[in-house]
């Protein structure tokens, strides 16, 4: 499997429900980030969690990180139709000089009004 693999690949929920997406990775990381991509648009940064953090909140977003299991989850509470997008986790596992991010294939979230 790939570094930064999300599951599920696709998720369809009703507006108001919560959406949970998971991400697994293989190597040690400096941080893990979640991005959103609306159709035809660029990637929008949602939240970053550092390797020494276990949980982080931002508005309706909650991210957890379990470095022992090399996994993270993104929870979107009280979903809205506008949350419909693809969500990617990205890990920063590089050395001191480079800041390259490694992305998973993403979870396509559909929120039905």
Partner 1 sequence: EAGVTQFPSHSVIEKGQTVTLRCDPISGHDNLYWYRRVMGKEIKFLLHFVKESKQDESGMPNNRFLAERTGGTYSTLKVQPAELEDSGVYFCASSPHRPTRGEQYFGPGTRLTVT
User: Which CB sits closer to partner 1, 83 or 88?
Assistant: 88
**Which residue stretch of 15-23, 44-52, 58-66, 70-78 sits at the interface with partner 1 (rule: CB under 8 A)?**
44-52
- The owner of tokens 């997008």 is 85
* Burial class of 57 by CB neighbour count within 10 A (0 to 12, 13 to 18, 19+): exposed
**Which residue stretch of 8-16, 37-45, 52-60, 68-76 sits at the interface with partner 1 (rule: CB under 8 A)?**
37-45
Structure tokens at 23: 């991400």
User: Which CB sits closer to partner 1, 13 or 94?
Assistant: 94
Residue 31 binding partner 1, by CB under 8 A: yes
**Which residue stretch of 7-15, 57-65, 70-78, 92-100 sits at the interface with partner 1 (rule: CB under 8 A)?**
92-100
> Which are the contacts of 3, defined by CB distance < 8 A and separation ≥ 6?
25, 26, 27, 91, 93, 102, 104
Beta strands in 38-84 (DSSP E): 43-50, 55-58, 61-66, 71-76
Structure tokens at 64: 């957890």
Q: Which of 39, 69, 97, 113 binds partner 1 (CB under 8 A)?
A: 97
Residues that bind partner 1 (CB under 8 A): 2, 4, 30-31, 33, 35, 40-45, 48, 88, 90, 92, 94, 97-106
């Amino acid at each position: 499997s790939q570094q930064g693999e999300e599951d599920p690949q696709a998720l369809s929920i009703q507006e108001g429900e919560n959406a949970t997406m998971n991400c697994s990775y293989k190597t040690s990381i400096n941080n893990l980030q979640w991005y959103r991509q609306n159709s035809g648009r660029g990637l929008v940064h949602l939240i970053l969690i550092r390797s020494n953090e276990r949980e982080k909140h931002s508005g309706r977003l909650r991210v957890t990180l379990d470095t022992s299991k090399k996994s993270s989850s993104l929870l979107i509470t009280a979903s809205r139709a506008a949350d419909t997008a693809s969500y990617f986790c990205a890990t920063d596992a590089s050395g001191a000089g480079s800041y390259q991010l490694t992305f998973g294939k993403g979870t396509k979230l559909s929120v039905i009004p």
